[in-house]
């Protein structure tokens, strides 16, 4: 027990584990009616998430014990695997299509999202690549980023494409590379995203729903309006645990991207604020580790992980309160989804491994 505490007892571990266990309760509450209607089993999504949680914890302990320096030598292989998976998911027979999106790779015994592996590979590969200074690599960086963006947008998954883009730019900036080429290219990025929105009717519809939620309450703005109903029902103190009315299949994606709305309905503004504070403390602990990073590689790794969790939390919560359009980004550790949970805990394992090195120093 003493060895376990010395090696693994850290808020960077305990907070994600506690949030994931809490997430199991809310996933069951938010999905029980839907899963019974769909599969005749109220526990269907809960059981799947529990299996993913066990696998995720096993992967976390592997990376917690696996010397993070070795990731430097595996970075290219990890990125290559990620790109191959992103290509395979677009091929009928390999990629599993749900609601018009081809984002899941069917491995027979399970489905995985290659975009989640892409988040992991971008952090590992760019951290390894930018550890040592090279000349004239900005265009190589843009080509790699362009390949990833195109493959993800084709699925289509605009939210993850934006996350990968911001994550890559941040690691480039953090690595003390020349900033001038980045500034020179900056005007092109908003133009590209504008064109992507104009090219896809559903993206434009989401933008319209964001700008005016009342435009089509039974159509494009139905989702955001149901979220508003959840938040209003929650009020200051909430309706009580398990008392959500929106879980009765009124709120779309209640157990996935919109799970915070169910939490807010149950526990109100006070409970939601406590949850946000827990996330803030978790993010602060990662930042504290970043300040004590023992080398440049670990500094870039921690910086990338820090931003990824920040982006997912901020984008999800901002979309729930209509500060930005709905994007489909999950809330870490709470939303239903095996691939995201698996990669999140893999990154937690990397952080624990670095933290152990820091404590030794």
Which tokens is 168 given?
Answer: 């890559």
- DSSP states of 67-89: -GGGHHHHHHHHHHHHHHHHHHT
Cα 11 to Cα 33: distance, rounded to the nearest angstrom: 34
Please state whether beta strands 95-98 and 101-106 pair in parallel, antiparallel, or not at all (unpaired).
antiparallel
pTM, 2 dp: 0.90
Q: Other CB atoms closer than 10 Å to residue 347's CB: what's the count?
A: 27
Cα 7 to Cα 79: distance, rounded to the nearest angstrom: 29
pLDDT per residue, tens digit, the chain (361 aa), is: 343 445 556 889 999 999 999 999 999 988 888 888 888 888 889 999 999 999 999 999 999 999 999 999 999 999 999 999 999 888 877 766 666 666 777 766 677 888 899 999 999 999 999 988 766 678 888 889 889 988 998 887 888 888 999 999 899 888 887 777 767 767 777 777 777 776 767 777 777 777 777 787 777 888 888 888 899 988 888 888 877 888 887 888 788 888 999 999 999 999 999 999 999 999 999 999 999 998 999 999 999 999 999 999 999 999 998 888 888 789 999 999 888 999 999 999 999 999 988 877 6
Cα 124 to Cα 105: distance, rounded to the nearest angstrom: 22
DSSP state of 331: P
Cα 164 to Cα 171: distance, rounded to the nearest angstrom: 11
Report how far apart the first and last C-alpha atoms of the chain are (Å, whole number): 23
DSSP state of 105: E
Q: Is 7 helix (H, G, I), strand (E, B) or coil?
A: helix
- Checking phi first, is residue 240 left (phi over 0); if not, alpha (psi -120 to 50) or beta? left
Domain spans in the chain, listed from the N-terminal domain onward: 2-360
Range 90-95 contact pairs with CB under 8 angstroms and sequence separation of 24 or more = 90/151, 90/154, 90/155
- Rg (the chain; Cα; Å): 20
Which tokens is 198 given?
Answer: 């104009």
Peptide bond into 120 cis (omega under 30): no
């Amino acid at each position: 027990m003493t060895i376990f505490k010395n090696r693994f007892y850290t808020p960077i571990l305990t907070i994600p584990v506690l949030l994931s266990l809490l997430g199991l309760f809310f996933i069951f509450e938010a999905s029980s009616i839907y899963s019974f209607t769909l599969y005749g089993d109220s526990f269907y999504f809960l059981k799947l998430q529990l299996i993913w949680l066990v696998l995720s914890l096993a992967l976390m302990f592997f990376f917690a014990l696996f010397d993070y320096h070795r990731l430097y030598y595996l970075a290219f292989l990890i990125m290559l695997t990620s790109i191959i998976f992103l290509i395979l998911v677009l091929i009928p027979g390999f990629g599993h299509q749900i609601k018009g999106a081809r984002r899941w790779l069917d491995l027979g015994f399970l489905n995985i999202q290659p975009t989640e592996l892409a988040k992991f590979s971008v952090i590992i590969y760019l951290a390894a690549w930018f550890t040592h200074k090279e000349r004239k690599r900005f265009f190589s960086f843009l080509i790699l980023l362009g390949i990833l963006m195109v493959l993800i947008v084709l699925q289509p998954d605009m939210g993850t494409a934006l996350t990968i883009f911001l994550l890559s730019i941040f690691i480039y900036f953090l690595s003390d590379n020349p900033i001038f080429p980045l500034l020179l290219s900056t005007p092109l990025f908003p133009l590209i995203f504008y064109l992507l929105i104009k090219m896809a009717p559903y993206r434009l519809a989401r933008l319209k729903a964001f700008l005016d939620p009342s435009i089509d309450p039974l159509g494009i703005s139905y989702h955001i309006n149901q979220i508003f109903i959840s938040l209003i029902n929650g009020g200051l103190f909430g309706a009580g645990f398990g008392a959500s009315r929106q879980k009765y299949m009124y709120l779309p994606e209640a157990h996935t991207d919109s799970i915070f709305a169910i939490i807010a309905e149950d526990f109100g503004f006070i409970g939601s604020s406590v949850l946000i504070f827990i996330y803030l403390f978790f993010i602060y602990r990662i930042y504290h580790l970043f300040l004590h990073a023992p080398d440049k590689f670990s500094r870039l790794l921690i910086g990338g992980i820090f931003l990824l969790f920040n982006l997912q939390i901020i984008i999800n919560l901002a979309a729930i309160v209509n500060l930005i359009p709905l994007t489909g980004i999950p809330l870490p550790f709470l939303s239903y989804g095996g691939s995201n949970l698996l990669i999140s805990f893999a990154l937690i394992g990397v952080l624990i491994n670095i933290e152990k090195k820091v404590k030794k120093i």
